[in-house]
Amino acid sequence: MTDDASCDAKCDATHDATRRDIEAAVFRRLLAHLDDNKSVQNIDLMNLAGFCRNCLAKWYAAAAQERGEEVDYESARETIYGMPYSEWKARYQK
């Protein structure tokens, strides 16, 4: 019976790790999609979807903080935008 419990715990851990890998891949795909579509403005995203790149950056920083990591908002925005926000804004914001 302990083998079953051990297997269950191992299977759950494997499932959790696989799910995190899939979620991480989806997040990277979302960032790539946003990067490929810089013409889509944050205000358009906000009006249509209820979130924008800046929201993603806030969520990123909050998730890091929940895990005991210090990621400030500007660093999180650089992760989301793929460059410093000021540079992205100068190049792509209408």
Question: Looking at the predicted structure, is the pLDDT value of residue 37 above 90?
Answer: yes
Predicted local distance difference test score (pLDDT) of residue 86:
96
Same domain, 2 and 32: yes
Domain CATH for 56: 1.10.3340.10
- Phi/psi region, residue 41 (left: phi>0; alpha: psi -120 to 50; beta: rest), is beta
pLDDT in tens, 39-94: 999 999 999 999 999 999 999 999 999 999 999 999 999 999 999 999 999 999 98
Same domain, 45 and 10: no
Predicted local distance difference test score (pLDDT) of residue 3:
62
Q: What is the domain range of residue 91?
A: 38-94
Same domain, 51 and 93: yes
3-class DSSP state of 82:
coil
Same domain, 47 and 58: yes
Secondary structure letter of residue 52 according to DSSP: -
Whether this model's pTM surpasses 0.75? yes
Structural domains in the chain (count): 2
Same domain, 14 and 31: yes
